[in-house]
């Protein structure tokens, strides 16, 4: 998303807990990118990151709440309460922190686009991922509620619901090392016959950020190759 938005002409602020990873992306992009080490589960760090973005680039037009975690698959009866807490701290509280920090900036500007990353797990939940399903389901509900709340301020709030994708989280999502058999079995449930890619998500996010979607808000869009049909 950072590379894709930059190629479209945007100034980009990249946040993550890993400073090395985001620093490399920012250096690759150049002067129009800023890397800020930030744990979205911590309000003070998110507020400071938004303040830095606002100071560096003179506003924040788009916020993508994309940080997420997934714990090992387990049935509810065997689940670890600490895993539930970690999931909700990042997957839900992180989204809340991002919106809470950026809304005053966008209200002052008179416009903005907030894009939350939910999941097809919110729409088509499955056993073994109840905590993940629940955290992402809450993101979809919060997206719709905030869309209504912020509409008078011309701030749009939408969400992406990706199917499992080619990311480092894939193994945890599938319950271990991803074998060819596991991959083929999952892909067979996606009508378009493949997993999602980061570029699929970046393209959808760029649409929600663009002037082409100025009358679209409160939408939780499935980017899933037909998985949820």
Contacts of 36 (CB under 8 A, 6+ apart): 13, 14, 15, 22, 48, 49, 52, 53
- Give the whole-angstrom CA distance, residue 88 versus residue 85: 5
Strand partners, 114: 63, 157
CA distances (Å), origin 97, targets 42, 101, 155: 8, 6, 16
Active-site annotation holder among 5, 88, 131, 132: 132
The H-or-E segment that residue 23 falls in is helix 19-29
The 3-state DSSP class for residue 3 equals helix
Q: Is residue 96 among the annotated active site residues?
A: no
As annotated, the active-site residues are 132
């Amino acid at each position: 998303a950072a590379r894709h938005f930059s190629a479209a002409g945007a100034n980009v602020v990249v946040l993550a807990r890993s400073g090395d990873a985001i620093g490399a992306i920012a250096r690759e992009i150049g002067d129009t990118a800023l890397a800020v080490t930030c744990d979205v589960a911590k309000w003070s760090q998110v507020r400071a990151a938004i303040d830095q973005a606002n100071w560096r680039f003179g506003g924040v037009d788009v916020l993508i709440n994309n940080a997420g975690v997934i714990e090992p698959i387990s049935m509810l009866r065997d689940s670890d309460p600490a895993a539930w807490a970690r999931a909700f701290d990042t997957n839900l509280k992180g989204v809340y922190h991002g919106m809470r920090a950026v809304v005053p900036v966008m209200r002052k500007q008179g416009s903005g686009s907030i894009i939350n990353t939910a999941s097809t797990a919110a729409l088509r939940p499955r056993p073994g991922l109840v905590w993940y399903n629940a955290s992402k389901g809450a993101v979809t509900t919060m997206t719709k509620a905030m869309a209504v709340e912020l509409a008078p301020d011309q701030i749009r709030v939408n969400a992406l619901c990706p199917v499992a994708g080619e990311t480092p989280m894939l193994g945890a999502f599938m319950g271990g090392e991803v074998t060819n058999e596991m991959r083929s079995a999952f892909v067979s449930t996606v009508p378009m016959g493949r997993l999602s890619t980061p570029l699929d998500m970046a393209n959808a996010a760029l649409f929600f950020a663009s002037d082409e979607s100025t009358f679209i808000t409160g939408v939780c869009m499935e980017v899933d190759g037909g998985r949820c049909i």
